[in-house]
Amino acid sequence: MIGRRSKLALVLICVNIDGAPYLLFHRHRKWGDWSLIGGHVEPSEEGNWLIAATREAGEELAPLRPCVDFVIEPFPMAPIEWGPVPSRTKDNIPTIYIVQYYWLRFLRDPATALAQLDPRDFVLIRLSDIDAAQARIGVSDTFERFAASLGNHIRDLPCSWSAPIHGRALPRGLERVTGNDS
């Protein structure tokens, strides 16, 4: 028996740092893992999940502001659906998850934008090292399913800013996870 359906709008933020693509993850304190920016689609957003993705990005990336610091755009793939699996939020009720992914495009220098975020709540993970990061720091299953659906094309994600960022321009404390980390 399916107990519920959970609809999520998640946002990919990919930046080129010193020639290598990295994804930005947000700490999910309740679950103890790192996840993409985003969350549940509210009933009033059912007809337009882009609104949910923008709202969630505005909340989780505050003080960054939608339409000033960034815009959210559709990511060119169909929603991913899986389940039923026990829900962590609703007393293990069997849940079907439907996730639509979006892409963030910075409207200004991302190093300046990233400097406004609390480095304790964000981490940059090099795309080529996602598997190692998963084992070491715990990346959410919603990202794992996205990566599995893309396969080797995960390394072809579009960057959220057209130019590379120099690592030295990033804020102090914003961790970059690579396969070389211990």
* Mean residue pLDDT across the chain: 90
User: Among residues of the chain, what percentage have pLDDT more than 70?
Assistant: 96
Asked whether the predicted pLDDT for residue 152 surpasses 80, the reply is no
pLDDT digits (tens, 9 = 90+) for 4-20: 999 999 999 999 999 99
- Residue 100 included in any domain: yes
**Exposure string over 94-124, b if 16+ CB within 10 A, otherwise e:** ebbbbbbbbbbebbeebbebbeebeeeebbb
Give CA separation, 50 vs 31, 100, 157, in Å: 25, 9, 19
Tokens describing residue 175? 């961790």
- Residue 93 included in any domain: yes
Give me the CATH number covering residue 21.
3.90.79.10
Confidence band for 182, pLDDT divided at 50, 70 and 90: very low
Asked whether the predicted pLDDT for residue 80 surpasses 60, the reply is yes
- Residue 89 included in any domain: yes
pLDDT digits (tens, 9 = 90+) for 58-75: 999 999 999 999 999 999
pLDDT score at 1: 54
Check: CB of residue 12 under 8 Å from CB of residue 98. Answer: no
pLDDT score at 154: 80
d(CA 23, CA 4): 30
> pTM score, two decimals?
0.92
pLDDT score at 137: 86
pLDDT score at 32: 82
d(CA 132, CA 110): 25
- Residue 182 included in any domain: no
- Residue 12 included in any domain: yes
How many domains does the chain fold into? 1
Confidence band for 141, pLDDT divided at 50, 70 and 90: confident
Domain ranges, residue 39: 4-177
HSE-up (13 A, CA, CB side) for residue 144: 12
- Residue 153 included in any domain: yes
- Residue 19 included in any domain: yes
d(CA 162, CA 159): 7
